[in-house]
Chain A
Amino acid sequence: MSVKNISITPGWEKYMTKEYQDLVERGPYGKQKKVSEMGSFKEVLEEHPMCAGCAMTLFIRLTMVGLPNPEHTVLIGTAGCGRLALTQTSIPFIYGNYGDTNAVASGLKRGLEVRFKDQAKDVVVMAGDGGLADIGFSAVMHSWFRKERFTTIMLDNEVYGNTGGQESGMTERGALLKMAPKGKMFEKMDMMGLAQTAGVAYIARLTPTNPTRVASVVRKAVMIAREVGPTFIQAYTSCNIEYAIPTPKVLDDAREIEAKRYGFTEIISDEAKAYLDSIDTSKKVKK
Chain B
Amino acid sequence: MSDSAGVKDVTAEKPAETKEAVELTAGDRQKVVTPEYMFFEAPRERAFITGSEAAKEAIRRSNVDVAISYPITPQSETMQQVGSLWAEGYVKEYYRGEEEIGVMSAIAGSSRAGARSMTATAGPGLMRGMEVIASWPGGRIPAVLLIMCRVVNAPLAIQPDNVELAYLLNCGIILLHGENQQDFFDYTMKAFLISERPEITLPVAVAVDGFFVTHARGYVNLPSKDIKLPPRDPYAEAVPAMDNENPPARLSRDAPIQKSNFISYQVHASWQQEVWAANERARRYINKYMGGLIEVVNPDAEIMLIASGSAVSQSREAVRQAEEEHNTKVGLIKVRSIRPFPTPELRAACKHAKRIIVPEFNYMGWLHREIVTALYGHSKAEIFAGPRVYGGMSMPTEMILQTIFPEKKFIF
Contact = CB atoms under 8 A, between A and B. Distances in A.
B115 A111 contact: yes
Given A1-B244, A87-B255, A97 B131 contact: yes
Contact of B109 (A104, A114, A116): A104
B112 interface: yes
B110 interface: yes
Interface string A55-96: 000000000000000011110100000011001001111111
A107 B256 CA distance: 24
Interface stretch (A138-146, A177-185, A212-220, A273-281): A138-146
Contacts of A84: 255, 258
Interface in B105-123: 105-115, 117
Contacts of A49: 259
Nearest to B22: A117
B355 interface: no
A105 interface: yes
Contacts of B246: 1, 5, 92
Interface residues of B, number: 43
Interface string B387-407: 000000000000000000000
A139 B98 contact: yes
A103 interface: yes
A226 interface: no
B102 A71 contact: no
Contact of A110 (B93, B243, B248, B259): B93
B105 A107 contact: yes
B253 A94 contact: yes
Nearest to B253: A94
A104 B259 CA distance: 23
Given A111-B112, A111-B113, A114-B115, A121 B101 contact: no
Contacts of B95: 106, 110, 146
B321 to A, nearest CB: 49
B108 A100 contact: yes
Contacts of B103: 103
A223 B132 CA distance: 30
B166 interface: no
A71 B244 contact: yes
Interface in A98-147: 98, 100, 103-116, 121, 138-139, 142, 146
Contacts of A112: 113-115, 243
B215 interface: no
A5 B234 CA distance: 17
B110 A139 contact: no
Contact of B102 (A74, A108, A139): A139
Given A93-B253, A116-B243, A139-B102, A103 B97 contact: yes
Residue among B99, B109, B112, B253 with most chain A CB within 10 A? B109
A100 B133 CA distance: 12
Nearest to A95: B255
B358 to A, nearest CB: 35
Contacts of B115: 110-112, 114-115
Residue among B105, B107, B132, B135 with most chain A CB within 10 A? B105
A115 B68 CA distance: 17
Given A107-B113, A108-B113, A111-B117, A92 B102 contact: no
Interface of A: 1, 5-6, 49, 71-74, 76, 83-84, 87, 90-98, 100, 103-116, 121, 138-139, 142, 146
The 5 closest A-B pairs by CB, nearest first: A111-B113, A107-B109, A107-B106, A111-B115, A103-B105
Interface of B: 65-66, 68, 92-93, 95, 97-99, 101-103, 105-115, 117, 131-132, 135, 139, 234, 242-249, 253-256, 258-259
Given A104-B108, A108-B112, 16 more contacts: A5-B246, A71-B244, A73-B244, A84-B255, A95-B255, A100-B105, A100-B108, A103-B102, A106-B95, A107-B110, A107-B112, A108-B110, A110-B93, A111-B112, A114-B93, A121-B243
